[in-house]
Chain A
Amino acid sequence: MNKKFKKLVPYVLLTPALVYYLLFWIRPVLRAFVESVTDLEGKLSFSNYINVFQDSYFKQAFSNSIIFAVFSVILSFVLAFLVALLLNRKFRGANLLLFIALVPMAFPPTAVAILWKTGFTTFGWINNILVQLNLISEPILWLTAKGNEALFFLIFIDTWTVMPSVMIILLAGLQNLNKEYEEAAVILGASKFQVIKDIIMPILRPTIVTAVILRMIGALQVWMIAVMMFGYGRVPFLVERIAYYTDIVPMLENSYKMSLTYSVVVTIIVLVSVTAYLRANRTKQGGVV
């Protein structure tokens, strides 16, 4: 009796989590999928997808989201990796610097958007600093940017926020890395760059993959900063469309279906990119390092 009970313990402990996921994860996700392939009367139909694909903003939202994700991942990874390498040594004030570097991570997306809005508005503090430094004489109209200009503008200011969260993952990885791996390479003749390329990056790969995936997922879901800087529609993103159909035109007949279908599209894109990235990064050496 007692032994049988003992065997059951893990299952008892796991049941709540499993039930929760069945109810609040699997069920809504399946439902979203089912609803996305049925019309308003509940008949099987691809009209939702057709509507989404024909949405005048879809193409741009799709390509913007992809471009944003690609460049945001690259930019934040490169910067984060450099900073992590820099911080991964002992120097006076290292702890304080880590503390400061983490601040942007604390910012809720809403607050970040307002931070940059107060900066980039015509009479904002960025123009003000530039004038005080005599770099410009007239304020620059940042927020009139359009198209790719506006998109890259968003990528740059978003990097400010997300870089620390990438950096912190990489830093944790670097600090767990056996220092002797690097030293062995240095003694055997590797330059600083070769040590990073041949030793640190490959060994750190699991950590890098984690950091990149988390950033990728986040970047594919960007919307708030775009809406708050430029309003709806100027730089459309996939999730921005969801917010648009929920926030701005919630009463349209097919708003619900539109945002739902957009969300399925986002999910599929996220899953496909993550899987593709993981596939490309399968490590050769099996077993535990």
Chain B
Amino acid sequence: MNNKILSKTVFYLVVTTIVLAILIPIFFFVSSSFYSGYEMYRFPKPMFPETKFEFKIDWDTEYNMYNLMIYEQSEDAYELLISSAKPKDFRRYLKRELSIVKEDEEIEADFAPAKDGPIYLTYKKNMFYNYVTFFSITNKAEKAIVNSLMAAGWTILISLTIGSMAGYAMARYKFKGKERLSVSLLLVRMFPIVAVSIPMLVYLIKMGLNNTMIGLAVVYSVSNIALTAWITNSIFLGISVELEEASIVFGANKIQTFFKITLPLAVPGLIASSMYAFLTAWNDAITALILSGDNPTLSLVVYKALGSSGAMQLAAAGAVILFLPALIFTFIIKNYINQMWGDVKF
């Protein structure tokens, strides 16, 4: 009995460790995207991003300037941030370093009483400042989201049409070379896609498709057609031919049968395939870098944001935006995992 309790404890301990190992980095990553620049470089810092800051402002009679001081909890003291006479300087500083958005007039009015002696005030932080700024600094961000969606859309369209046709043929018909075909589908899936991307550049330039999303989708579809054919093949195999035959017995023709019976039953598999296609396009950076450097996708913009802005919290905000749809789609796919991998055999 004791043994059982012990093994149960160990089991839940391991489970907890796994959960924490996954959730802790994600939590702090997401919370980093809410840090202001000041907090990012503060050390040690509170575990959670601040929602407001407490300031002390006094008036330096010698230089005729305001001193802006921030309350530092770990030292229980105020720390000088910036001294200036111009509200403009404070506005800029508050915005850039503390994610506080205030007008000059507001600052002037708030600070004025300090001339009679130190004052204390609290400003609320604009929590989504990084997200807003990510779009305004990396001026391609909005376009990049549209690009990513378009690349994903084209990839889904191409790989679903071509792939599911092949999948259906493999599931429902006997033909020469069927075995070899399914093996070569695997080969395509295993093939490093970079090897296709670079030479494709030449073809895309010829077709005028370089720096376009269709061009990217053409490359993404290479592996996804194979994957879709694979998934739909197993889906169509799972749909009993008798269901189709029953429909024909009741007077429907082959095409009606396909659209009324087979296709609706295959919808889950088609959804799973499209999710995979979406993720291929959405997550890729190297192909986008090679083929569409001047018209980047979101993934590429986020990659470049880290280098160009230098402000990690902005890149983090971009990465969170990049991560969210991928997260949603992965959980939709979760339900089709067995279909996906259950019968993969080499």
Residues in chain A within 8 A of chain B (CB atoms): 9-11, 13-14, 16-17, 20-21, 24-25, 27-29, 31-32, 35, 83, 86, 91, 93, 97-111, 113-119, 121-125, 127-129, 131-132, 139, 160, 168-169, 171-173, 175-176, 206-207, 209-210, 213-214, 217, 220-221, 223-224, 228, 239, 242-243, 246-247, 250, 256, 259-260, 263-264, 266-267, 270, 274, 278, 281
Contact = CB atoms under 8 A, between A and B. Distances in A.
Contact of B302 (A111, A131, A171, A210): A111
A10 B229 CA distance: 13
Contacts of A109: 283, 285, 299
B43 A239 contact: no
A117 B303 CA distance: 12
Contact of B342 (A111, A113, A176): A176
A21 B187 CA distance: 12
B218 to A, nearest CB: 6
Contacts of A93: 15
Nearest to B19: A100
Given A132-B47, A224-B285, A260-B198, A207 B344 contact: yes
Contacts of B219: 24
A173 B341 CA distance: 7
5 contacts: A10-B174, A24-B221, A25-B188, A103-B22, A260-B198
Interface string B290-324: 10010000011011001000001101101110110
A16 B22 contact: no
A111 B334 contact: no
A114 B192 contact: no
Contact of A14 (B169, B202, B290, B327): B169
The 4 closest A-B pairs by CB, nearest first: A10-B173, A106-B330, A13-B169, A125-B28
A242 B198 contact: yes
A283 B225 CA distance: 28
Contact of A267 (B29, B181, B191): B191
Contacts of B330: 102-103, 105-106
Contacts of A228: 303, 306
Interface in B332-346: 334, 337-338, 340-342, 344-346
A109 to B, nearest CB: 6
A226 to B, nearest CB: 12
Given A24-B200, A109-B283, 5 more contacts: A125-B32, A171-B337, A172-B337, A176-B342, A267-B191
Interface of B: 11, 14-15, 18-19, 21-26, 28-29, 31-32, 40-45, 47, 161-163, 165-166, 168-170, 172-175, 181, 188, 190-192, 194-200, 202-203, 218-219, 221-222, 225, 229, 282-283, 285-286, 289-290, 293, 299-300, 302-303, 306, 312-313, 315-316, 318-320, 322-323, 326-327, 329-331, 334, 337-338, 340-342, 344-346
B190 A270 contact: yes
B299 to A, nearest CB: 5
Contacts of B169: 9-11, 13-14
Given A10-B173, A28-B203, A17 B196 contact: no
Contact of A35 (B29, B199, B283): B199
A154 to B, nearest CB: 15
Contacts of A172: 337-338, 340-342
Nearest to B340: A172
Contacts of B318: 114
B198 A115 contact: no
Contact of B26 (A16, A103, A175, A243): A103
A259 B31 CA distance: 38
Nearest to A31: B199
Contacts of A247: 289, 293
Nearest to B228: A17
B319 A104 contact: no
Contact of B286 (A213, A243, A260): A243
Contacts of B338: 172, 175-176
B196 A24 contact: yes
Nearest to A242: B194
A28 B196 contact: yes
Contacts of A32: 195-196, 198-199
B225 to A, nearest CB: 6
A234 B125 CA distance: 38
A100 B28 CA distance: 16
A223 to B, nearest CB: 7
A107 B326 contact: yes
B19 A97 contact: yes
Question: Residue among B168, B172, B199 with the most chain A CB within 10 A?
Answer: B199
A31 B201 CA distance: 11
A136 to B, nearest CB: 10
B190 A213 contact: yes
B32 A118 contact: yes
A158 to B, nearest CB: 13
